[in-house]
Amino acid sequence: MPNAKITQTIDALRDILGDRLSTGPSVLDQHSHDEAYTTPVLPDAVVFPETTEEVSQILRLCSQNGCPVVPYGIGSSLEGHVVPVQGGITVDTSRMNKLLEVHQSDLDAVVEPGVTRVQLNDALRATGLMFTVDPGADASLGGMAATRASGTNTVRYGTMADNVLALEVVLPDGQIIETGSRARKSSSGYDLTHLFVGSEGTLGIITKLTVKLHGQPEHIAAATCAFPNIATAVDTVILAIQMGLPMARIELLDEVQMKGMNLYNPDMGLPETPHLFLEFHGTEASVAEQVDSFAALVEEYGGSDFKWATKTEDRNRLWQARHNAYYAGKALRPGCNSVVTDCCVPISALAECLVRAKELIAASGLMAPIAGHVGDGNFHLLILVDPESAAEMDSAKALANQVNMLALDFGGTVSGEHGIGLGKRKYLPQEHGAAYALMGVLKKAVDPGNIMNPGKLVTLN
């Protein structure tokens, strides 16, 4: 049962929101978890605001009553970000889903936080513009900003941190602020926009975003190629980047992941060895030049089985298969649960790091396919476990811990894009040192009552 203060908050919010406040069991269950392996926790209520002013009212009431608040997009996060570990109110922003402005000449758009990346790109199709950040899920842009998401296009177009120009944010006390502007650069004051990008809902709720857009390329070519081992695939990528080849996408899938890809996509039929999935953007002539240059590198490093896709439907099929790598990996062990983890290292260390990671997987006795945004040093493990085996889950967590520590040893980070949430908070003092304490100071200054997504990212004493 909720405590008296939370009950008081729920009653007051029901007067404001009516049937847009729910305590129904199915709604509470939906908002008790994300895609992570963390234990679900039910919120006490879920609210569905439709305006910034309503979000402000919600936070003002919650602040006055010391009621925990957890922002929620579509629940596709992977580290327990949206689990309401202290109960309270979950704020679901899915009804704030309007595309407010598109400025074609300036290559930007203003959106509400519930707009998803697919929704935005569908709306942009006739303009010749596109939004380029593409995590595998059709995530909401508010959630993508809050977790500093990225994806397969990052090597050329950058992460959410590179593609958010400005934000409207409601602070824990209900105050509405605007950070940044539509200008492409500024030397004016603290960079508050990027304080909130990646803050994982611990400092406030994003209610509006101004995001960068890019021109749709004149010509696109995609390809797959096979390699005898992980190291030669990664070495090919490193040399391509050092040469300045402007690849739009370059993804690595190991031999275990490729076996799952063939199981999940029966018509794929690719060799079950490490693969690169590639995409090149530009004019027809520039793409042809990029392709020739990369093909020469592949030959030099012993790659083979080049398969090209220039038709839109073939490219879409290829990248849909890549985005479904999670389900393809799980096809290797039907009925399994999974522990998903990611980390990121300098690209010069990636080949050795991956070889070491595969040694750790072998020693664990578990199956863990690897896929990664190899162009920026980011890779993912999908550790498959028997849902009835506590011992396997313990082994999976131990393996994830070893890989995270390995990334730190190589001068990297414990998360390239999934974020911290509940799952990785324990690593932050080692990764950030004294800077982690400063994060706590900032959290306490902005959210002295610790109502915003408590238990995540930073710990307040």
136 and 62 housed in the same domain: no
CATH (domain of 317): 3.30.70.2190
pLDDT > 70? residue 217: yes
109 and 89 housed in the same domain: no
pLDDT band at 316 (very low <50, low <70, confident <90, very high): confident
pLDDT of residue 19: 96
404-457 pLDDT, tens digit per residue, is 999 999 999 999 999 999 989 999 999 999 999 999 999 999 999 999 999 999
Q: Say if 434 falls within a structural domain.
A: no
Q: Say if 437 falls within a structural domain.
A: no
51-68 pLDDT, tens digit per residue, is 999 999 999 999 999 999
122 and 196 housed in the same domain: yes
Q: Which amino acid is at 176?
A: I
By C-alpha distance, which of 282, 290, 294 is closest to 225?
A: 294
84 and 162 housed in the same domain: no
pLDDT of residue 312: 87
Residues in Cβ contact with 23 at an 8 Å cutoff, skipping those fewer than 6 apart: 10, 44, 45, 46
Please give the angle made by the CA atoms of 349, 80 and 46, to the nearest 5 degrees: 150
Mean pLDDT in residue range 154-165 = 95
pLDDT of residue 1: 65
371 and 276 housed in the same domain: no
Question: Taking a C-beta distance cutoff of 8 angstroms, is the pair 264, 328 a contact?
Answer: yes
83 and 39 housed in the same domain: yes
pLDDT of residue 306: 83
Q: Say if 224 falls within a structural domain.
A: yes
Residues in Cβ contact with 32 at an 8 Å cutoff, skipping those fewer than 6 apart: 40, 41, 42, 43, 83, 84
Q: Say if 178 falls within a structural domain.
A: yes
342 and 316 housed in the same domain: no
Helix (H, G, I), strand (E, B) or coil at 163: helix
User: How many distinct structural domains can be found in the chain?
Assistant: 4
121 and 207 housed in the same domain: yes
pLDDT > 70? residue 349: yes
| Structural domain boundaries, residue 185 | 99-215
Counting residues of the chain whose pLDDT is more than 70, the rounded percentage is: 100
253-271 pLDDT, tens digit per residue, is 999 999 999 999 998 889 9
Question: Among 129-138, 163-172, 353-362, where is mean pLDDT lowest?
Answer: 129-138
pLDDT > 80? residue 159: yes
- Dihedral, CA of residue 157, residue 162, residue 163 and residue 165, to nearest 10: -150
4-44 pLDDT, tens digit per residue, is 899 999 999 999 999 999 999 999 999 999 988 889 999 99
122 and 147 housed in the same domain: yes
Answer left, alpha or beta for residue 202, where phi above 0 means left and psi between -120 and 50 means alpha.
Answer: alpha
DSSP 170-235: E-TTS-EEEEE-SSS---SS---HHHHTT-TTSS-EEEEEEEE-EEPPSEEEEEEEE-SSHHHHHH
The conformation of residue 102, written as its DSSP 8-state character, comes to E
Distance linking the first and last C-alpha atoms of the chain: 26
pLDDT > 80? residue 459: no
Domain boundary among 189, 215, 241: 215
Q: Say if 461 falls within a structural domain.
A: no
Domain boundary among 184, 215, 246: 215
Domain boundary among 60, 94, 128: 94
pLDDT of residue 311: 85
Residues in Cβ contact with 89 at an 8 Å cutoff, skipping those fewer than 6 apart: 6, 9, 10, 13, 43, 44, 45, 46, 47, 58, 62, 67, 68, 69, 70
Helix (H, G, I), strand (E, B) or coil at 83: coil
Token pair 């004051």 in the structure block, residue: 189
Mean pLDDT in residue range 212-217 = 96
pLDDT of residue 461: 63
By C-alpha distance, which of 266, 202, 148 is closest to 454?
A: 202
245 and 266 housed in the same domain: yes
Q: Say if 367 falls within a structural domain.
A: yes
CATH (domain of 18): 3.30.43.10
166 and 191 housed in the same domain: yes
Per-residue tokens: 192: 């508050």
CATH (domain of 389): 3.30.70.2740
By C-alpha distance, which of 376, 383, 329 is closest to 361?
A: 383
CA distances from 193 to 187, 208, 273, 450 (A): 13, 12, 42, 21
Q: Say if 302 falls within a structural domain.
A: yes
pLDDT band at 310 (very low <50, low <70, confident <90, very high): confident
The chain-wide mean pLDDT, for the chain, equals 94
Mean pLDDT in residue range 312-326 = 88
Chain CA centroid to CA 320, Å: 17
430-440 pLDDT, tens digit per residue, is 999 999 999 99
Q: Say if 366 falls within a structural domain.
A: yes
pLDDT > 80? residue 396: yes
224 and 307 housed in the same domain: yes
124-136 pLDDT, tens digit per residue, is 999 999 999 998 7
